[in-house]
Amino acid sequence: MSAQRLDGKRALVTGGARGIGRATAQAFVAAGARAVLLDRDADEAQRVAADLGNAEAHALDVTNETAVDGLIDTLAARIGRIDILVNSAGASIRKPTAELSKAEWDTVIAVNQTAIFLCSRAAARHMLKKKSGAIVNLASIMGVSGGGLYPNVSYQASKGAVVNMTRALAIDHGPQGIRVNSVNPGDVNTGMLRDEARQLSQDADAFLAEAADRPLQRMGEPREIAAAVVWLASDESSYVTGSALVVDGGGIA
């Protein structure tokens, strides 16, 4: 649909070097946008951007307030405007609560929660100047459920915060024409999930099969999450804000 085209839009994607972030950058370029990949792994982000063509990449620690403000200000001045921000950078340390250290808790909260505040605040300052923009936050079904295949209290707490921060930002910025939504994926076939499967189970195939135990009987693919992000970033969803879109193959149901 023509309203889902993003021709000429400038889209920032944190965590753009891998997984859902990478698939989102690919989907943005396919829809006509210029993608700006922001990732701690500058080398991989540069390789992805080179493959995409209409893209560029920059190193960024999304937990560093000074770095976030400085880079987003610089990008806005150079590329002219910021139309879309996707907060896709994430971290997970999956341990039973009694074994999780304060330092590990702080790491997950910093990447999954505080960084979304920092990046959204920096991008919104520029979106407010033109009274338009779209912010899409990657949350999780673990942000709307306390259970799952494994104990993961810091991840669930941070993603729950993302869902409600999304609502708060939508209310804050709605009068200025900025829409803010979250996408809540279920288990998705990414390198991170497969690494966790190897860490948590001697039989990784059995673990992944259990992760696929839902009505559609499979895990999601990164491109399927990216498609939801593109829809929320496009004019096709022009009356949608403050929403938490679940994309999980029916797992929550």
- 35 in a domain, yes or no? yes
% of the chain exceeding 90 in pLDDT: 75
Please identify every residue annotated as catalytic. 155
Look at residue 87 and tell me if it is in a domain.
yes
Give me the mean pLDDT over the 46-75 stretch: 97
pLDDT, greater one: 68 or 195? 68
Report the predicted TM-score, pTM, of the whole model to 2 decimal places: 0.92
**Mean local confidence (pLDDT), 15-42:** 96
Looking only at the bridges linking them, the beta strands covering 244-247 and 34-39 are unpaired
Q: Which domain holds residue 37?
A: 2-188+223-247
**Residue 133 counted as domain residue:** yes
Q: How far apart are CA 196 and CA 219, in angstroms?
A: 15
* Residue 90 domain-assigned (yes or no): yes
Count of CB atoms within 10 A of residue 212's CB? 16
Residue 107 has pLDDT above 90, yes or no: yes
Residue 37 lies in a domain: yes
- Cβ-Cβ contacts under 8 Å for 248 (sequence gap 6 or more): 141, 184, 185, 186, 187, 214, 220
Specify the number of domains making up the chain.
1
Q: In percent, how much of the chain has pLDDT > 70?
A: 88
Q: Identify whether 207 is part of a domain.
A: no
Half-sphere exposure of 118 (CA within 13 A, CB side): 22
Q: Domain holding 156: CATH number?
A: 3.40.50.720
